[in-house]
A and B are shown apart, each in its own frame.
Chain A
Amino acid sequence: GAVVSQHPSWVICKSGTSVKIECRSLDFQATTMFWYRQFPKQSLMLMATSNEGSKATYEQGVEKDKFLINHASLTLSTLTVTSAHPEDSSFYICSASQQGKWIYQPQHFGDGTRLSIL
């Protein structure tokens, strides 16, 4: 149980393109999902917390207009990288926790999306 699906796995596109990444919890409901960015050989950097039915909470330094997050249902959150540029190239990974006692619940991660902007 507790499977999180993330699509696409790889994206290669031209500069100026907008890219949408989907994150789905397949067998549980997730009121909160998290979006991370990871550079090679570094740790995960939290970008934003996605809340179902409300606006996402962005971490300091993350551009809200560049990284649009929508959490339309209890099983789906999307991250759209708008007008992507080469510096947006990175590994993006989402996660979700099952509802319940927060401290006991691990975050379950999608497999990540490798984004390359040419």
Chain B
Amino acid sequence: GAGVSQSPSNKVTEKGKDVELRCDPISGHTALYWYRQSLGQGLEFLIYFQGNSAPDKSGLPSDRFSAERTGGSVSTLTIQRTQQEDSAVYLCASSLMGQQIYEQYFGPGTRLTVT
């Protein structure tokens, strides 16, 4: 079956612009995660969704970052007023259930470059 997909694959934006990154999880997966992978910080957790609610958004680095999930499926990560330090690869993962030890399946990521 289809895996986790993310779009766009690459995004170049100017400092100060807003960007939206999209994640399509595996069908039927109720848990969805966003991570950020950058040279300086490694792989960091951003936010976790169970269904449409986000019980853990502790990893969002500032209030410029927000995410939503609709219909228990697609999720959008929005970064407002982008800064150069936001440049990174944003990875999305999904799993069957958040509270059980089900494998997290990752998408190919979106590489964001802020110029």
A and B interact physically: no
Question: Which residues of A approach B to under 8 Å, CB–CB?
Answer: none
